[in-house]
């Protein structure tokens, strides 16, 4: 073969091989491109599972309604009431302490010097209950020249005390009548009347004690001038409890020596230390409810009226003392006893209210009521309870930090809701009961 022909054949074979390689590469690239652009869709089995599966999304407006038969409604004994607008005053509970009112503790002293003797029934012990006028001691005066001079001076002093007490009594009587008249005309306040009455009571007790001492001294001085002096009875000036007995029979005591102390517990005060930050929001002119610290909610507690008392405060605790008067005829309360005092606040305003018994809770702590939308048909509606007071629950209009123009939550004023049998309706809706 001609060498030139061999070179020509080799050159043709190289060209064919290069062309075949290029064609094969183009075919592979086209196949890869087709696989990329025409990737088959993944089946459902190939998809990863979602984080949650919800069969049906239920909105709050689409909650179930409970439709009752006439027989079921009678058996449940449902009670209905409308949503009202009224002013419900909030209250706040503070701790209080039972104290003895001013003027109800009387310290009895010896009107003159002498020797103490026991009365016919003996000297009552401390803690005993005594009646007004009951003899506690008898005092045999010492008729020495100094004793006679002391008797005359004591009688003159007693006469002056009676005159002073009588003038103070007359002034407080006039103040009480004036305060009552001004209150009746609509220009005063009940607090001014209470303050005047408290001052009147203190003045009356002071006058009674001074008059009793004057009577004793008149009798002793008269007997001394006649040469015969009988033992002077030292009686309890008021009914109450002997808190302290400071002397014994057979003891010689000087004039003015303390003998015993009588405390009247028929009426007590409750001292409530209010934080200074709560003073402006507390209505101190309205009665408070007083009961045990462990009293369950909903229990009706006795009312205690505010009284005027000497001002007192605790600067270390930043509290100011407020006093309330509470009757204690049965003697169940003891000075120093701790009580719970429910004090009204001053933020009462007209709001939507429902009976507290109409509110039901779900497992998440949400509050609901059942509104009657048709005869024997009730729908659960969400409500936001702002606060409660007694048997009423005040509804909040919108949640905190709600966007503007948010409609009020819950039924509107005038809507009829269920107040009795709410738990049974909730159980029927959720399937707990039939």
> What confidence category does residue 387 fall into, taking pLDDT thresholds of 50, 70 and 90?
confident
- Output the average pLDDT for the chain: 79
114-161 pLDDT, tens digit per residue, is: 889 988 888 899 888 899 888 899 888 776 655 566 666 777 777 888
Whether the per-residue pLDDT at 102 is higher than 70: the answer is: yes
* Rounded-to-integer distance, Cα 44 and Cα 26, Å: 35
Averaged pLDDT for residues 300-312:
86
Residue extents of the structural domains in the chain: 61-88+349-430, 105-258, 266-344
Of 219 and 310, more confident: 310
Whether the per-residue pLDDT at 227 is higher than 90: the answer is: no
Whether the per-residue pLDDT at 56 is higher than 90: the answer is: no
308-342 pLDDT, tens digit per residue, is: 888 899 999 999 999 999 898 888 888 999 999 98
The residues that bridge with 211 in the sheet, in sequence order, are none
pLDDT value of position 399: 63
Host H or E run for residue 198? helix 190-226
| Residue 283 burial (C-beta neighbours within 10 Å; 0-12, 13-18, 19+) | middle
Report the range of poorest mean pLDDT among 152-156, 280-284, 397-401, 412-416. Answer: 397-401
pLDDT > 90 in the chain, percent: 12
pLDDT value of position 79: 87
DSSP string, 373-390: EETTEEEEEEE-EEEEET
Q: Please choose, from the candidates 259, 168, 171, the residue with its C-alpha nearest in 3D space to the C-alpha of residue 216.
A: 259
* Rounded-to-integer distance, Cα 166 and Cα 211, Å: 9
Q: Please choose, from the candidates 299, 417, 425, 308, the residue with its C-alpha nearest in 3D space to the C-alpha of residue 358.
A: 417
Whether the per-residue pLDDT at 8 is higher than 60: the answer is: no
* Rounded-to-integer distance, Cα 183 and Cα 371, Å: 46
Asked if residue 66 lies in contact with residue 429, where contact means CB atoms within 8 angstroms, the answer is yes
> What confidence category does residue 284 fall into, taking pLDDT thresholds of 50, 70 and 90?
confident
* Rounded-to-integer distance, Cα 271 and Cα 326, Å: 11
Of 408 and 282, more confident: 282
Asked if residue 423 lies in contact with residue 362, where contact means CB atoms within 8 angstroms, the answer is no
C-alpha 79, offset from chain centre: 29
Q: Please choose, from the candidates 189, 198, 330, 343, the residue with its C-alpha nearest in 3D space to the C-alpha of residue 270.
A: 343
* Rounded-to-integer distance, Cα 383 and Cα 244, Å: 59
Residues 6+ apart with CB under 8 A from 48: none
> What confidence category does residue 182 fall into, taking pLDDT thresholds of 50, 70 and 90?
confident
pTM equals 0.56
pLDDT value of position 260: 93
CATH topology of domain 61-88+349-430: 2.40.420
Asked if residue 347 lies in contact with residue 341, where contact means CB atoms within 8 angstroms, the answer is no
* Rounded-to-integer distance, Cα 292 and Cα 302, Å: 11
* Rounded-to-integer distance, Cα 214 and Cα 103, Å: 20
pLDDT value of position 145: 59
Averaged pLDDT for residues 38-51:
55
Alpha-carbon distances of 169 from 93, 162, 174, 257, rounded to whole Å: 38, 10, 9, 27
pLDDT value of position 97: 94
Residues 6+ apart with CB under 8 A from 136: 108, 119, 123, 124, 130, 234, 235, 236, 242, 245, 259, 260
Q: At CA 334, angle to CA 266 and CA 258, rounded to 5? A: 75
> What confidence category does residue 413 fall into, taking pLDDT thresholds of 50, 70 and 90?
confident
């Amino acid at each position: 073969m001609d060498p030139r022909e061999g070179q020509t054949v080799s050159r043709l074979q190289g060209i064919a091989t290069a062309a075949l390689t290029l064609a094969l590469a183009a075919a592979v690239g086209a196949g890869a491109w087709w696989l990329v652009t025409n990737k088959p869709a993944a089946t459902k089995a190939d998809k990863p599972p979602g984080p949650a599966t919800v069969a049906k999304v239920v909105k709050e407006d689409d909650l179930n309604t409970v439709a009752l038969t006439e027989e079921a409604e009678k058996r449940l004994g449902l009670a209905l009431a409308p949503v009202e607008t009224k002013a419900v005053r909030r209250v706040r509970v503070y701790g209080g302490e039972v104290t003895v009112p001013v003027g109800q503790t009387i310290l009895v002293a010896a009107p003159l010097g002498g020797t103490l003797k026991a009365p016919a029934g003996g000297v009552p012990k401390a803690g005993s209950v005594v009646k007004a006028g009951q003899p506690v001691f008898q005092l045999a005066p010492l008729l020495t020249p100094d004793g006679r001079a002391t008797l005359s001076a004591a009688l003159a002093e007693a006469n002056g005390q009676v005159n002073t007490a009588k003038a103070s009594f007359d002034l407080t009587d006039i103040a009480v009548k004036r305060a009552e008249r001004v209150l009746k005309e609509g220009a005063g306040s009940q607090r001014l009347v209470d303050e005047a009455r408290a001052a009147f009571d203190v003045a009356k007790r002071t006058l009674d004690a001074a008059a009793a001492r004057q009577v004793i001294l008149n009798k002793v001085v008269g007997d001394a001038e006649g040469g015969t002096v009988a033992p002077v009875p030292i009686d309890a000036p008021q009914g109450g409890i002997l808190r302290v007995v400071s002397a014994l029979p057979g003891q010689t005591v000087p004039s003015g020596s303390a003998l015993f102390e009588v405390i009247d517990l028929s009426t007590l005060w409750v001292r409530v230390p209010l934080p200074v930050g709560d003073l402006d929001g507390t209505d101190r002119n309205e009665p408070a409810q007083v009961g045990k610290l462990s009293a369950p909610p909903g229990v009706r507690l006795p009312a205690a009226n505010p009284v005027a008392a000497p001002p007192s405060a605790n600067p270390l605790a930043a509290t100011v003392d407020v006093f309330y008067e509470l009757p204690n005829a049965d003697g169940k309360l003891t000075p120093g006893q701790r009580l719970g005092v429910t004090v009204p606040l001053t933020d009462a305003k007209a709001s939507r209210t429902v009976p507290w018994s109409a509110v039901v809770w779900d497992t998440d702590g949400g509050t609901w009521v059942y509104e009657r939308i048709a005869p024997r048909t009730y729908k659960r509606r969400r409500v936001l309870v702002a606060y409660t007071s007694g048997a009423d629950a005040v509804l909040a209009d919108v949640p905190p930090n709600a966007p503007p123009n948010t409609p009020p939550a819950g039924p509107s004023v005038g809507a009829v809701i269920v107040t009795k049998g709410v738990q049974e309706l909730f159980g029927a809706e959720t399937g707990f009961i039939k």
